[in-house]
A and B are shown apart, each in its own frame.
Chain A
Amino acid sequence: MKKIFFIVKKSLLQHKLSTVITILSVALAAALVMSVFSIRDQAETAFTGGPVGFDAVLGARGSQLQLVLNTVFHLETSPGNIPWEDYEALKENSSVKLAVPYAVGDNYEGYRIVGTSPELFEGFEYSKGKTFEFKSGGVFDPEHREAVVGSYVAQKTGLKKGSKFSASHGIYLDKNNVHDEKYEVSGVLKPTNSPSDRVIWVPIEQFYMTEGHVLRGAGEDYEAHVHHHAEDIPDQHKEISAVMLKLKNPASGFKLATQYNREGKDVTLAWPIATVMAELFEKIGWVTKILTLVAYIVIAVAAGSILASIYNTMNERRREFAILRALGAKKGTVFSSVVLEAVTISFIGTLIGFIFYFILMMFASYVIRNQTGVVIDILSLHPVLIIAPAVMIALGALAGIIPAYKAYKTEVAGSLSHNS
């Protein structure tokens, strides 16, 4: 075996350029395949299987998916508003453990501002058993124009306890549409590695009492900014984007869904959230199928490049194989050395592929976190991290068989080119 490794080493060094290029193509292929599968599954798990803290969301009549994306993941636009009384009714409902109002419509430097109640910071679990913790400061006082800032927002904007800022109207940054009122940061949250990190939370009453925010809960325009105290806003004018719900048990969800999702109702209950999100992945299933197909093609191309790189050297190496045979190398030794050469290229390529994989994952993780707040764990172990390298090495060996057979069949005497 030692001699075979020696021959392989010498051959790889002798054809450095093609070896390096082939190794890089294998590395990229392995990295791409591992990344595609890993990111796809992690994203799917994060969006559908991960604990999102709430069991259900009640919002305006429309798409459950849009409702969940808007409220849980802070993406997309709000499908509309619902009356405050729906929130009050749910708060009193025996099936509901916790009901939290959400009102969206402003942003600060592109980060969403969500009007809500202080209960969010007490009863809400962003992950199983984990409630929000403050890095500095504490919960806002609904009587004051205060704000709690998510860790990512704080990191990106530099907001800290005591900072003051003005919100822009709308969910996208528009520097020409800034409200006059200034919020003061009452606290900064510790990182949760969830979409909540990208949010600024403000008292829902202060959200209402912002000039330019028109309440239409009672069917007519009502401007709450004229008031100085939250309790002065009549409930019938209040409206909210959604009510976030923690239910007492799964049966409660079924009961509420039956109650709210009937025809003729003006509201929609998105429940269970994981199932709603799974619909998203069903809808974009063709994208992942194409990505998977591309990944398979890339693997095939990489295997082909191993075959081509070795096969292309076969003519110049025919004499070398003949010399090895003349020195006493068995046919099997020559065959094995070519196959092992292909395997070595795939093996080294796959190892380097892990480096590329981590670079790709870091980049993807950064982009996904920037866009959605969802954190991809680049160190997460996925079966593809074992399967892809194994397949790559097996395909490398397979690709080596054709040139190896050619080497095996080398006609020794003829290839040594004698003259007599």
Chain B
Amino acid sequence: MVNNLPLLKVEKLKRTFISPDGESNLILDIPTFKIRAGEHIGIQGNSGSGKTTFLNLLAGILNADSGSIMFDSRELTLHSESERDVLRAGSIGYIFQTFNLLQGYTALENVTLAMMFAGKPDIDYASKLLENVGLGNRMDYKPAQLSVGQQQRVALARALANRPKIVLADEPTGNLDYRRAKQAVKMIKELCIVNGASLIFVSHDLDVLDDFDTVLDFTILNRAFTS
């Protein structure tokens, strides 16, 4: 169910990085971007185009130099780091390209730990999520004991653990072949629909974004890249 009101709205968002030789490089300049509650948007962009930086800004992991990120009626750029941590834990699910699972933790522990940060650990729900992604019999496995595809599904379950309002998926299919990538996209989309979460799915591969109604070209969205 897509709501017409934007869940996330970005305006004049800029971010620079200081290069090792001290030079200031503008790597992100997004004039405007928005996503409605329940909407799924695919973003295609080449490597090094600033897609991850963009997602990190939306997740509150990075600070913007200027501009506005309005998320769920709250201006993220005005929040302290600690407030952004709380918001991220409770309302934003993040799937990383390399999954970033905690190696010393089992699949179930990876999911429940994410819940703990949001203050609502629920082992039953974490188990259900893992069952939903087909890992009901692998809950006690550590990441190193799982295949790449299984690790990705743990990362998906973890991203959905706190019933987030939005899921940010950063090249989650980058390490999969085309067939598995398509299956993964389908699963992520379906679970986001079930959970009522918006989805921003970033990929360098346009083919895996076939199923998205809206696909944005990041090289156009990011003026810093085009200029």
Contacts and interface: CB of A to CB of B under 8 A. Distances in A.
Q: Which of B50, B105, B109 has the most CB of A within 10 A?
A: B105
Contact of B109 (A2, A10, A323): A10
A185 to B, nearest CB: 68
Nearest to B218: A420
A182 to B, nearest CB: 74
Contacts of A417: 98
Contacts of A328: 85-86, 88-90, 114, 117-118
A3 B88 CA distance: 16
B195 interface: no
A11 B104 CA distance: 7
A193 B86 CA distance: 65
A322 B102 CA distance: 10
Interface in A373-420: 412-413, 416-420
9 cross-chain pairs, A with B, having the tightest CB-CB distances, nearest first: A328-B89, A14-B104, A328-B117, A3-B116, A418-B52, A420-B52, A420-B51, A323-B100, A330-B85
Contacts of A419: 47-48, 52, 97, 171, 174
B117 A327 contact: yes
B185 interface: no
Contact of A418 (B103, B105, B170): B170
A325 B86 contact: no
A331 interface: yes
A355 interface: no
Contact of A420 (B48, B86, B89): B48
19 contacts: A2-B116, A3-B116, A3-B117, A7-B113, A13-B104, A325-B61, A327-B114, A328-B85, A328-B118, A330-B82, A412-B61, A413-B52, A413-B61, A416-B100, A419-B48, A419-B97, A419-B171, A420-B53, A420-B202
B171 A326 contact: no
A133 interface: no
Contact of B97 (A6, A327, A418): A418
Interface residues of B, number: 43
A112 interface: no
Given A6-B113, A331-B85, A412-B62, 18 more contacts: A7-B113, A10-B104, A320-B102, A323-B100, A323-B102, A324-B102, A326-B61, A326-B88, A327-B113, A327-B158, A328-B86, A328-B117, A330-B82, A418-B52, A418-B97, A419-B171, A420-B50, A420-B171
B150 interface: no
A413 B64 CA distance: 13
Interface residues of A, number: 29
Chain A interface, >50% SS class: helix
Interface of A: 2-3, 6-7, 10-11, 13-14, 319-320, 322-333, 412-413, 416-420
Q: Which of A10, A324, A416 has the most CB of B within 10 A?
A: A416
Given A10-B104, A14-B104, A420 B49 contact: yes
A333 B88 CA distance: 15
B85 A325 contact: yes
B96 interface: yes
B56 interface: yes
A409 to B, nearest CB: 12
Interface in B36-70: 45-53, 56, 59, 61-62
A350 to B, nearest CB: 25
Contacts of B94: 326-327
Contact of B82 (A3, A14, A331, A420): A331
Contacts of A10: 102, 104-105, 109
A314 to B, nearest CB: 15
Contacts of A326: 59, 61, 88, 94, 96, 100
A311 B18 CA distance: 28
